[in-house]
Structure 1
């Protein structure tokens, strides 16, 4: 059975069981601060389990894209070395929100596996929760008794809390679970060891295939458990593992999910799979990682230096590194796999085909960038080796190479080993742990349980129509972090505050009680469909009635910028072409940022045309036409633009200004005239095929022009109020250029004279021409003099010092013959002598420089130099 047929069979089975089939949610989460990525099938449904929203159906089934590369669930380092862990994987799942429970979930799972997919019952084992004394939880006898209807008791195993009690995090819904494991070993292997002894023992052919979670408890901040008001079913079956079983192979990578990618890697690299274990690992890593990176880019997450983007960059760089080291690929090639991937999975996930060109461009540029990093890292590593005394390279140096330049530590270790050196792994791990501790301390946070004041209170957002409201606090909690200290999160029964989303920042404002006491709202965010207001202080009487007031000025400025992003999007598509698609935005009160797909830098004329287009719509005084809660299909039919990576419901909100129509949950001006004016402040590249425009509107534009006007008159005043200031400035530039040339000529003559003086001052020390002296030259002049003298002698040791702008400079030149024969190293010399000038530096063995803040130490450094020749 082919993989596409397997996926369809699963979904059709549950469709027949009255489940609504929903598409996979984007992998990148936008309103859940506890997760960067969807790491399990249930993550997109957390709001339903928490009771913060109502699902479209009490029964749902899907195939969800998941990514496990960070946080609690992190499989990255196993990927490639075993045959069943992945970064990106599909989770087939069926869900019940307060509908059916254990009996149906167990019966249907067994029916699907054994009767529909025809998996031999004799190779299946099931586990049930054995209970836990710490949580005072009994064994799940209900699940055990239900399984006995289908499975012999000797195949029902009792599992501990680690394996058979599922929790979404330190707090929140949780419950016992039953896992279904499959044993696909050969008959000979089964005769040697009973399969039940290998369950949950990380055996590559005895693996968990399906997990049935019985969500019935809530974990509180103090660690205690309380029953949920409604019981839920949350199941997850690994699609790739299911394919392995049904296609009768011994590895996920031998299924048709991966074999087309593996064959393409073989074709591109000339390496053969299943011949060499190191090559096999590399090919598995690349075949797995390209899926994770491609799907992330398709969902709107580009590689970057922070957050989720950093994780994606790390995955891709791991793939590049394995290709570089074990497949001898020194040029980009991973991007070429995207054709095969989109062809194989594009029918189930059309975003791969629609975004294929962008995915290829981004991956190729990232590959090129990291290959340059590897090349530079090799140079730096060679320098570290040259400067190393003995045969053990400092872990601190290796960590600097890893942390500052992104050079992989295992590649460092490999290259050192090939050249007869060892790595101080303990020292490296010590530095790495220090970094982790710093990072953990910076992000450490504790969250109290919610204190509930009003039970079953639905929250209503009224911020589209009002900036003030009389509200009640329905619940609150304290959150403590090292960075922010104590903060409080408040939930109201209704709120005019817009929560951060769709690129728009959250509202600020204040709460006021009847006595006039005020608590300031510092930010507003959404978490699992609940709008949360952040304050530094808790109101004196949380049960009182309050007036909630949004900062109207900030909201208005933000609305101007948000509406401008819609007009900008329309302008870019009009001026550049309909290939332009939004790839991200940031809408603040002071500026807007807009990322979009385009293949080249915008010209001056194009930028002017875009600005003029937007400003024409502002001058056109286009009114806001808003449609709330209209069917998604209807909005798309009317021409509304949906963004890749956004999660939309069955009903949406459509925003129209003239011919600009977009799906948007943000706030907007009532008329484009409110924006006053639009001004682009910068245009730049973000990634291959992605450009970024930053712009301002309204008051910020007024401030911009006022500042430019002030600067213009100041410049004109400096030019003696010239009637033609531009021409006057050009004349100054020409005069300055001419004077620079004269100065350069004078400095060359000066250096020539100094070189003659220095040559006459060289002294012979043990067969070496030596001189240590302070000179009146800049760094460039010193280097020129040193290399000119070096060209005349093959036994020169020269240390020159200078004082410039209150700082000290040391430059050391050593002939390459002395470096090779006398074990002298200019880099080591300046590092050691740098202590006299309270500084440091480095360079190559034959020429290096050091800078310091203590010019008075120059004489001592010069005196010490001669000691290197003894």
Structure 2
């Protein structure tokens, strides 16, 4: 069976069992602070398990793209070295939200595997939770056991412990026992030697778990105790790649048609061969896996960067580049070429790979080129570390600096050191790495108490599109403690006018006021698992009392103006630059807006002016807001609405139209474009390859900007003695300055010429070397010219010059090239050592180098020491 047929057959099987097929959620998570990426099929349904939302259908099935590279689920270092772990993978699942439970889940899983997919039951093992004698004091899951006994012989049932057979969402939340289904695809000879049940959960590559059936029936509270959920749910997950391995009679996931097209393309573009050498095999598996993870992440809106989720994606891509560099001898970008094959292969199931293919290619190509430059730089730095090492051992601290500051992979450092007979202090490196991890963990550590439930949340909880004040009650609240932000409260209201952060727009601020005048400041509003959560430093003295929720009207109005401006800006860019422009991210605050978009080149000043004029023309047109709430996604798209990539839309959406600009959007907007007042671009720059960023201001911020510019212009006029034509006056000053510069340069040349004559007389010989260390009154450029002129005229020359310029110390060293080779002198190392006297550092080439420092009084001491390098 082809992989696409396997996927379709799974979905159709559960569709026939009255399940709704739902699309995969984006792999990048936007409204759950506990996760960066979707790491399990249940993530997009979390709000249903938590009871925050009611699903439209009680039964669902899907294939969910997942990424496991951080936290508890981190398979990154195993990827490539074995044949069944992956970073990005598909998880096939079927779900019941308070509908069917263990009986149906177990029966249908067996029916699908053995009757539809025709897997031999003799190759399958199942597990049940054996119970635990810890604080939870669970007993054996007898219900699941009895159900399995009706289907399989008892010798095929394995009793699993809490680690293997009790699934938890996290430290808190829904959880429950589970049954895993494992398959043994070894040969009959191997099975005769060791029973398959003895290899279950033992990391054997051919005895693997393919399906996990989670029976979600408990809620884990903050204090560790459990309570029964009001409704029982089913959450299953089956590894698509492993299932394909089984059904295609392969011994490795990488031998299935999920990966073979990619592997064939890697062989072609890298001139390598899979299956001939284990190091090459590992490298090809790493690249084939990692390009999928990176491509899907970019398609879902996460670009590689230096922080957060973007750093994780960059790290995955760099791991792939490094394996190609070391084991496939690829010194030029090549991974980006694989996206063509990937989009053809998986674009039908995941159309975002096709629609974002050009962006994915551009970003990966640029990242490859950048990291290959980093590798070249790192190789030079590592070579210098080896030269400076006296005991052929590189400290963990130095290796960590290479890794952390320059992005040089530690395994590559170790490999190069071993090849050159050097040793790496691995324990020291791990110590530095753990320090960094602990700092990061402490900075993001958050502990939360249990929710204190007071009332129900209304079905349509958000009323902030139409009103900025509302009479409310607290539905629930809890205390949270963050290392970064300290102690605060999360408050959920039964209804709220506060807009929660989303779609690039910041969350509202404001107050909650009680009838007796008590005021609670709301400092932020976010959406977490479909709950609107208000953040505050305290809760009302009487949490059950009715309150008035009041949004900060000034901030909301400014933010709404900026949000509407982003829509008009998007329209302007598509009209002026072309339809290839797509929004790739935004930030909308009360004081400014930021808009990222796809475009291949820097905007010219003329283009920026056209964009500004386009937006301001729409502002002057006084366009009214045309808002449609609750219309179907398909209807909105058919009317011309733009949907943003990486966003998850439901069946019912909200469309915002201003004139010809129409987008799907949940943010707040002005009633008429005239409320924006004016739009002014303040910056344009690159974010990544093929991605540009515009920053802009509107309204009062634009007015303040113009007032500031007017003030600056008045100051310039004043400095020019109130010139009526400041532009002409500045041009005259520039011309005068240019003429004076030429005069100064001429004088400096004469000075240097006279100085050269003096210096020649002062040069003395030491052991056959012409040496001079001297304080000279020239700038850095003049010193360099003088040193090279002397070097052309005098052989075997060793010069050290010092000077003070603008309160800073400068040391320069020149060494004739023959001395560099014959005497093993190095100007870079010498100025680095002498730079200690001026509290500075520097470097350069072996024959000329410069150091700068903040202690001019140390120059003479440095010059005195210079002679010691040739004695």
Q: TM-score range by the shorter chain?
A: over 0.9
> 2 CA distance for matches of 1:126 and 1:488?
44
Q: Partner residue of 1:760?
A: 761
The structural deviation recorded for 1:850 is 3.0
Which residue pairs with 1:126 in the alignment? 126
Alignment of 1:691-710 (within 5 A): 691-710=692-711
Stretch moving more, 283-292 or 418-427: 418-427
Question: 1:491·1:531 contact (CA, 8 Å) conserved in 2?
Answer: yes
CA distance in 2, matches of 1:175, 1:844: 65
Answer yes or no: is 1:171 the counterpart of 2:172: yes
For residues 78 and 759 of structure 1, the distance between their equivalents in structure 2, rounded to whole angstroms, comes to 65
Q: Which whole-Å CA distance do the structure 2 matches of 1:376 and 1:422 have between them? A: 21
Equivalent residue runs for 1:254-265 within 5 Å: 254-265=255-266
Q: Could you say what the CA RMSD is over the residues aligned between the two structures, in angstroms?
A: 1.8
Residue number in structure 2 paired with 1:25: 25
Superimposed CA distance per residue, residues 221-255 of structure 1 (whole angstroms, 9 cap, x where no aligned partner): 22222221111100000000000000000000000
Cα contact 1:387–1:828 (8 A) shared by 2: no
* Alignment correspondent of 2:862: 861
Where 1:497 maps in the other structure, the secondary structure is coil
What residue is the counterpart of 1:396 in the other structure? 397
CA distance in 1, matches of 2:538, 2:845: 57
Note the 1:510-529 alignment, pairs <5 A.
510-529=511-530
Q: Distance in 2 between matches of 1:365 and 1:835?
A: 38
The 10-residue stretch of structure 1 (544-553 or 244-253) with the greater mean CA deviation from structure 2: 544-553
Counterparts of residues 513-662 of structure 1 (less than 5 Å): 513-662=514-663
Q: Corresponding residue for 1:98?
A: 98
Instruction: Give, in whole Å, the separation in 2 of the partners of 1:397 and 1:785.
Output: 37
Following superposition, the deviation at residue 844 of structure 1 comes to 4.1
Residue 818 of structure 1 and its aligned partner are, at CA, apart by 4.2
Q: 2: distance between equivalents of 1:369 and 1:636? A: 38
Change (3 A) 1:109 1:773: same
Residues 44-193 of structure 1 aligned to structure 2 (within 5 Å): 44-134=44-134, 135-193=136-194
Change (3 A) 1:181 1:793: farther
In 1, distance between residues paired with 2:850 and 2:651? 66
Runs of at least 5 residues in structure 1 that lack an aligned partner in the other structure? none
Q: d(CA) in 2 for partners of 1:501 and 1:98?
A: 29
CA distance in 1, matches of 2:676, 2:313: 37
Map 1:291-690; keep pairs closer than 5 Å: 291-454=292-455, 460-690=461-691
Secondary structure of 2:695's counterpart equals strand
Question: Mean alpha-carbon deviation: is it higher for 103-112 or for 735-744?
Answer: 735-744
1:229 aligns with 2:241: no
- The separation in 2 between residues aligned to 1:711 and 1:156, in whole angstroms, is 81
User: Is contact 1:289–1:315 with CA below 8 Å preserved after alignment?
Assistant: yes
1:4 matched to which residue of 2?
4
Equivalent pair of 2:511/2:551 in contact (CA under 8 Å): yes
Higher mean displacement: 188-197 or 534-543: 534-543
Q: CA deviation at 1:185?
A: 0.9
Distance in 1 between the 2:463 and 2:672 partners?
20
* Native 8 Å contact 1:473 1:542 kept in 2: yes
| CA deviation after TM superposition for structure 1 residue 114, in Å | 0.6
SS for the counterpart of 2:523 is strand
C-alpha distance in structure 2 between counterparts of 1:792 and 1:536, whole Å? 75
Structure 1 residues 703 and 23: CA distance shift in structure 2, 3 A:
same
**Contact 1:175–1:213, Cα closer than 8 Å, also in 2:** yes
What secondary structure sits across from 2:41 in the alignment? coil
Cα drift, residue 775 of structure 1: 2.1
Q: 1:381–1:748: structure 2 CA closer, same or farther, 3 Å change rule?
A: farther
Deviations 1:386-433 (A, max 9, x none): 333342233322222221221222222222333333333233222222
Is the alpha carbon distance of 1:465 and 1:483 closer, same or farther for their aligned partners in structure 2, counting shifts above 3 Å?
Answer: same
Task: Give the superposition deviation at 1:541.
Answer: 2.5
Partners of 1:799 and 1:168 lie apart in 2 by 66
* CA–CA distance in structure 2, aligned partners of residues 732 and 166 of structure 1: 75
Deviation at 1:793, TM superposition (A): 5.2
Gapped runs of 5+ residues in structure 2? none
Offset of 1:334 from its aligned partner?
1.1
C-alpha distance in 2, partners of 1:471/1:456? Answer: 10
CA contact (8 A) 1:592 1:696 kept: yes
Judge which range, 390-399 or 441-450, deviates more. 390-399
Pairwise mapping of residues 231-270 of structure 1 onto structure 2 (< 5 A)?
Answer: 231-270=232-271
Give distance in 1, aligned partners of 2:188 and 2:532: 57
Aligned mates of 1:426, 1:751 — CA distance in 2: 54
| CA-CA distance at 1:522 after TM superposition | 0.8
Q: Distance in 1 between matches of 2:621 and 2:5?
A: 54
Give matches, 1:838-853, under 5 Å: 838-853=839-854
Find the aligned partners of 2:72 and 2:434 in 1 and give their Cα distance. Answer: 18
Report the alpha carbon displacement of residue 170 of structure 1 after superposing the two structures with TM.
Answer: 1.5
Deviates most, 700-709 or 302-311: 302-311
- Looking at structure 2, the residues matched to 8 and 122 of structure 1 have their Cα atoms a distance apart, in angstroms, of 25
Shift, 1:492, TM fit: 0.9
1:179·1:211 contact (CA, 8 Å) conserved in 2? yes
CA distance 1:321–1:491, shift in 2 (3 Å): same
CA contact (8 A) 2:801 2:813 kept: yes
| Deviation of the 1:564 alpha carbon | 0.9
Question: 1:27 aligns to what SS in structure 2?
Answer: coil
**Other structure's SS at 1:647 match:** coil
Paired residue secondary structure (2:473): strand
Asked if structure 2 preserves the Cα contact closer than 8 Å seen for 1:459 and 1:492, the reply is: no
Aligned-partner Cα distance in 2 for 1:391–1:561: 59
Q: Relative to 1, partners in 2 of residues 1:382 and 1:459: Cα closer, same or farther, differing over 3 Å?
A: same
CA distance in 1 between partners of 2:702 and 2:123 (Å): 70
TM-score by length of 2: 0.97
Residues 457, 493 of structure 2: 8 Å contact kept: no
Name the stretch that deviates more: 404-413 or 860-869: 860-869
Offset of 1:34 from its aligned partner?
Answer: 0.6
3-state SS in 2 of match to 1:42: helix
Q: How much has 1:315 moved relative to structure 2?
A: 1.4
Q: 1:735 to 1:386 in 2, by over 3 A?
A: farther
Count of equivalent residues: 870
Q: More deviation in 555-564 or 170-179?
A: 170-179
Moved more, 854-863 or 178-187: 854-863
Q: Is the 8 A contact 2:457 2:494 kept in 1?
A: no
Q: Which residue of 1 aligns with 2:749?
A: 748
SS of alignment partner, residue 216 of structure 2: strand
Q: 1:711 to 1:456 in 2, by over 3 A?
A: closer
Partner residue, 1:217? 218
Give the match for residue 729 of structure 2. Answer: 728
Distance in 2 between the 1:595 and 1:7 partners? 35
TM-score, scaled relative to structure 1 = 0.97
The whole-number CA distance in structure 2 between the counterparts of 1:298 and 1:264 is 21
Q: Which deviates further from its counterpart, 844-853 or 395-404?
A: 844-853
- How much has 1:864 moved relative to structure 2? 3.0
| Equivalent residue, structure 1, for 2:287 | 286
Aligned counterparts of 1:637 and 1:4: Cα–Cα separation in 2:
29
Q: Distance in 2 between matches of 1:623 and 1:197?
A: 70
Whether contact under 8 Å (2:458, 2:495) holds in the other structure is no
The 1-side partners of 2:29 and 2:239 are apart by 21
How far residue 794 of structure 1 moved from its aligned partner, in angstroms, is 5.4
Cα 1:812–1:441, aligned 2, differ >3 Å: closer, same or farther? farther
From the superposition, tell whether residues 817 and 624 of structure 1 become closer, same or farther in structure 2 (CA, over 3 Å).
same
